[in-house]
Chains A and B, each alone.
Chain A
Amino acid sequence: MNEGLCADIKLANDFQPDMMRIVRKYNLTDDVRFFQVRPMEEQKALTLCYNPGQFMMVSRLGVGEAPFSISSTPSRPGLLEFCIREVGQVTQSIFRLNENDSIGVRGPYGNGFPMERLKGRDLVITMGGLGAAPLRSLILYALDNRDDFGEIYLLHGAKKPGEMLFKTEFFDMIERKDVNTMLTVDADDTGKWPAKVGLVTTLFKDIKQIDPANTFAAICGPPVMYKFVIQELLKLKIPKNQILLSLERRMKCGIGKCGHCVVKHIYTCMDGPVFSYWDVINMKELIY
């Protein structure tokens, strides 16, 4: 046996979920629900730290575990927030939980956005559908540390008004002078949508005040969105290695063991979920 493994230290079990309490839950859309949770152990709540763009493994007793992006910002400590869409067994079961129920959570995992490298840069943040989940963390963090960043553009597209996540929050942002918020829907079935109508790609023509060489872009959305948004960002002359994508994969462990998220030698859970476009340019499996 390998002597290196013999150390008699009781290792922390990285698979062990911590029990957390659901503090708030409410519907964001018909099938996406917002959950705010807090560790049961006060010390854990106080020391919770993570990066925007990281994810956690959320467990529902008796059903299973799945990865979810963190939607809250580390600049507002003590709480974790998730937007969860009802798509599978685990999420359906989480949907049925109520405030004050307990839930298992472990993490944070993944690299998250390189916040140090983003300092002093202009940001173009593009989100579609559930892509708002990780990018809300980034935008809130940037706004809480507003002096650290240059121009900030926030582009958010949804299929229709009823499907836009964090609508109220983002409409409030439109009022703010220190962030350029552009919201659009593919089609307005309500007839009352006060913002733009059209694909998210139509918003890019209004991006005027950035210095491309000093700009980082962040994208998250459904797989079809990446290709077209990347084209727009390249037209703006943002360097490929400054276009950051947050990707989704099936995961069973979050720590590079179970193999499900592997693409070539890349583990989405460990090396990602945030990749630069340059990282993935020759690995089409990563995006599509």
Chain B
Amino acid sequence: MRVLKLRKKDLKKMLEKISSFGELWAPVKKGDKFAFQKIDNLNDVDPNAGRTILPLKKFMVPPRFSMFRYDKDGYHEQLGEVTDRVVFGAHACDINGLLILDKVFAEEFSDPYYIERRKRTAIIGVSCVPDEFCFCKETNTDTVDEGYDLFFSELGDDFLVWVGSSKGDDMVRAAEELFDENISVKDIQKFIEWKKWRETQFKMDIDLTAMPDIFELKIDDKVWEKIGEKCLACGSCSMVCPTCNCFNVTDTVALGKMEGTRDRCWDACTLHEYSLVAGGHNFRGSRADRMKLWYTHKLQAFIGEFGKPSCVGCGRCITTCPVDINVKTVAKTLRGEEVYFK
């Protein structure tokens, strides 16, 4: 992989130089949190921003979009409005989340809406320092080797820039004069030191060893009823999860005409209607069953299908669920380490 150096003070210049690659998006403060927003003023770009409310999936599968426009002749694909974008400030966990979405959406029966946006969205990753809710080390997603175009690692006054794709290489070439090819021994030492220091910054105590087996053993446990009693069935955990990919499809019709759109929006397996079939039978009528589905899918079933959990340790469920049902409390409870649900 091509690796270069960029002076931190040249970041703005660099982002300006690559503006032809698409609209620039980066995490910007929203209340007490951050959200990926379109950047109009480069001074708003903060490479040290914390986790965003919504993960990168919002770029590849927007919360709501039209799949087709239809009229009496049939359905007409709506892909035209997808724009080129450059997303700066993606964390390793989130890029790992994209790699999981790639598996779901870009392999067998690939999803053209996802692929079109994925192709047109350049990802610039940035190394980060874990806060008290991060547990990406436990899910092996604290670093990332693919899935991005460029990745900026902390290096004192500089960034170490990893070029991860052909588009990334083009972006570097568009700002060639700002990059330094010479990585010194001192730089490498600095990089190692920083990595070691970062390792020590993980504060959350969570152990996900043998989770698939633990689910098998605890699948009929009474604790699911307790979790179900508490769950607000608000769907927020799924909305903010980088790997939750469920969606619903609805048709909207224009007034007085046989025209309209077929729209797709994020859905969640924790919502009442999720497994309801026509005729009224609900395969998961209870919140407990739906909670069980959410957690087994993340921490057990996905491993069966793809060989790794679909949790990337980003901590969003922890910072989002109003009633503290999250990977940490559920895992700890199932493991018998702590009792969160009485």
Q: Do chains A and B touch in the complex (CB under 8 A)?
A: yes
Complex-state Cα separation, A257 to B70, whole angstroms = 22
Identify the closest chain B residue to A20 (Cβ). Answer: B74
Question: What's the dominant secondary structure at chain B's contact region?
Answer: mixed
* A17-B74, A262-B293 known; A2 vs B99 contact (CB < 8 Å): yes
| A228-286 contacts to B (CB < 8 Å) | 248-250, 252-253, 255-260, 262, 264-265, 270, 285
List of A residues within 8 angstroms of B122 by Cβ: 1
Residues on B with C-beta less than 8 A from A265 are 297, 300-302, 304-305
CB distance from A6 to the nearest CB of B (A): 6
Residues B189-246 near A (CB distance < 8 A): 245-246
Select the residue from A63, A223, A265 with max chain B CB neighbours within 10 A.
Answer: A265
Counting chain A CB atoms within 10 Å of each CB, the highest count among B245, B277, B284, B302 belongs to B277
A54 at the interface (CB under 8 A from B): no
Task: Name the one of B99, B106, B247, B249 contacting A65, with C-beta atoms under 8 angstroms.
Answer: B249
Closest Cβ of chain A to B211, distance in Å, is 14
0/1 interface trace, chain B 54-77, chain A, CB 8 Å (1 if under): 000000000000011010111101
Decide if B278 is an interface residue (CB 8 Å cutoff).
yes
Interface residue tally for chain B (C-beta within 8 Å):
65
* Contact present for B109 and A256 (CB under 8 Å): yes
Q: Is the CB of B73 within 8 A of A19?
A: yes
Interface window among B37-45, B142-150, B327-335: B142-150
Residue B337 CB within 8 A of the other chain: no
Residue in A4, A63, A257 whose Cβ sees the most chain B Cβ within 10 Å: A257
B269 and A13 contacting across the interface, CB-CB below 8 Å:
no
In contact, A85 and B279 (Cβ under 8 angstroms): yes
Which of these, B68, B115, B121, B278, contacts A16 with CB under 8 Å?
A: B68
Select A2's contact among B67, B118, B251, B296, beta carbons within 8 Å: B118
* CB–CB A5/B251 < 8 A: no
> Is A104 in contact with B74, judged by CB distance below 8 angstroms?
yes
Chain B 248-291: CB-based contact to A (< 8 A → 1; otherwise 0): 11111100001010100001010000111111110110000100
Which of A1, A14, A91, A259 contacts B267 (CB under 8 A)?
A259
Q: Is B119 an interface residue (CB 8 A)?
A: yes
CB distance from A91 to the nearest CB of B (A): 6
Q: Of residues A2, A17, A102, A223, which shows the largest number of chain B Cβ atoms within 10 Å of its Cβ? A: A2
> Is B167 an interface position by the 8 A CB rule?
yes
Task: Judge whether B166 is part of the interface by a CB distance below 8 angstroms.
Answer: yes
The answer to whether B105 touches A257 (Cβ under 8 A) is yes
Q: Cβ of A255: which chain B residues have Cβ within 8 Å of it?
A: 108-109
A66 contacts the other chain (Cβ, under 8 Å)?
yes
User: Out of A18, A85, A90, A262, which one reaches B269, CB within 8 Å?
Assistant: A262
Instruction: Check if B72 sits within 8 Å of A257, measured CB to CB.
Output: no
CB of B109 within 8 A of CB of A90, answer no
Determine whether the beta carbon of A87 is less than 8 Å from that of B279: yes
Is A64 located at the chain interface by the 8 A CB criterion?
A: yes
Question: In this assembly, does A61 line the interface, its C-beta being within 8 Å of a C-beta of chain B?
Answer: yes
Complex: chain B residue closest to A90, CB-CB: B278
Chain B residues whose CB sits within 8 angstroms of the CB of A194 once the complex forms:
none
CA distance A55 to B122 in the complex (A): 38
User: CB within 8 A of A1: which of B77, B167, B245, B289?
Assistant: B167
Question: Is B165 part of the contact surface with A, judged by Cβ < 8 Å?
Answer: yes
Let me know if A3 and B267 touch, CB within 8 A.
no
The reply to whether B166 and A6 form a contact with Cβ atoms under 8 Å apart is: yes
Residues A260 and B108 in contact, CB atoms below 8 Å apart: no
Determine if A62 is an interface residue (Cβ-Cβ < 8 Å).
Answer: yes
Q: Which residues B108-125 have CB closer than 8 A to chain A?
A: 108-113, 115, 118-119, 121-123
Interface residues of A in 1-48 (CB under 8 A from B): 1-6, 11, 13-19
With A5-B102, A264-B300: A64-B250 Cβ-Cβ less than 8 Å: yes
Q: How far is the CB of A40 from chain B (nearest CB, A)?
A: 9
Q: For the complex, is B174 an interface residue (Cβ under 8 Å from A)? A: no
**B-facing mask of A87-99, CB < 8 A → 1, else 0?**
1101100000000
Chain A residues in 8 Å Cβ range of B293: 262
A-side contacts of B113, CB under 8 Å: 15
Select A5's contact among B68, B106, B280, B284, beta carbons within 8 Å: B106
**Contact of B104 with A by CB under 8 A:** yes
Q: Known contacts A1-B121, A265-B302: does B247 contact A257 (CB below 8 Å)?
A: yes
Query: Are B247's CB and A258's CB within 8 A?
Result: yes
Q: Is the pair A250, B275 in contact by a Cβ cutoff of 8 Å?
A: yes
Are A62 and B275 neighbours in the complex by a CB distance under 8 Å?
A: no
Partner of B123 from the list A1, A4, A16, A17 (CB cut-off 8 Å) is A1
A1 and B106 alpha carbons, distance in the complex (Å) = 12
CA distance A264 to B219 in the complex (A): 11
B68 touches A249 (CB 8 A): no
How long is the Cα–Cα vector from A264 to B180 in the complex, in angstroms?
49
Q: With contacts A14-B111, A85-B278, A270-B108 known, what are 12 further pairs, Cβ within 8 A?
A: A1-B148, A2-B102, A2-B106, A18-B74, A59-B75, A64-B249, A250-B277, A252-B248, A252-B249, A257-B104, A257-B247, A285-B289
Question: Please, could you name 23 A-B residue pairs with CB atoms under 8 Å apart, sorted by A?
Answer: A1-B123, A1-B165, A1-B167, A2-B106, A2-B147, A3-B165, A5-B119, A11-B110, A14-B109, A17-B75, A59-B75, A61-B260, A85-B278, A87-B278, A87-B280, A104-B75, A257-B104, A257-B247, A259-B247, A259-B267, A260-B267, A260-B269, A285-B284
Task: Show the binding face of A for B, using Cβ within 8 Å.
Answer: 1-6, 11, 13-19, 59-66, 85, 87-88, 90-91, 102, 104, 223, 248-250, 252-253, 255-260, 262, 264-265, 270, 285, 288
Q: Name B residues whose Cβ lies closer than 8 Å to a Cβ of A.
A: 67-68, 70, 72-75, 77, 99, 102, 104-106, 108-113, 115, 118-119, 121-123, 146-149, 165-167, 245-253, 258, 260, 262, 267, 269, 274-281, 283-284, 289, 293, 296-297, 300-302, 304-305
Closest 3 CB pairs of A and B: A259-B246, A88-B278, A62-B253
